[in-house]
Amino acid sequence: MEMPCEQPAVKLIGWLSPYVHRAEVALRLKGVPYDLLHDDMASKSDLLLAHNPVHKKCWKALWVALWAEPGEAQAAAAREAKEGLALLEAQLPEGKRFFGGDAIGLLDIAASGLARWLGVFEEMAGVRLLTEEEHPALCRWARAYAADQTAQQCLPDRDLVLAVLTPRRDMFVSTAKAMAAHK
């Protein structure tokens, strides 16, 4: 009789990243064994670059709205980002905790950066994009996601995220400045 071969654990590379969190919560929900290899995203090890050459993608309007100097470009980006948040919020089914219903699904995982990282970025930047007044359902969803038992197992501590990312503020501002210049 042939024995099923044991699959090696998936290698997940990263640390304190909303992108790594997405992958980690999906692996946990599906019961896929994995090894989390902590890698500082600022130093971008050879291992990370070899497996993820496109390591720095972000939603341009959101990033510029958070980090650009106050002015026309920042205000336009904030309007665009809030329109995107409204579009996302409209996908939440009435009376359900998550986008797919009562359990975390793919869209919840894809939007998980809003549940932890956006609030940290807003605090660091002194800019509020996601508010109860403008997006009450999306704010409820973010709280439900952060409170979910499976998501909590791999969602980094908010204070730790803030402590690690705060020294990178100048880099975020520089990136937004470059993004705003390239319309």
The verdict on pTM exceeding 0.75 is: no
pLDDT band at 15 (very low <50, low <70, confident <90, very high): confident
CB 183 within 8 A of CB 80: no
pLDDT at 157 over 90: yes
pLDDT at 41 over 70: no
pLDDT at 1 over 60: no
pLDDT at 45 over 80: no
Question: How would you class 157 by CB atoms within 10 Å of its CB: exposed for 0-12, middle for 13-18, buried for 19 or more?
Answer: exposed
Domains of the chain: 59-181 (1.20.1050.10)
Across the chain, mean pLDDT equals 85
Instruction: Look at residue 107 in the predicted model and tell me its pLDDT.
Output: 85
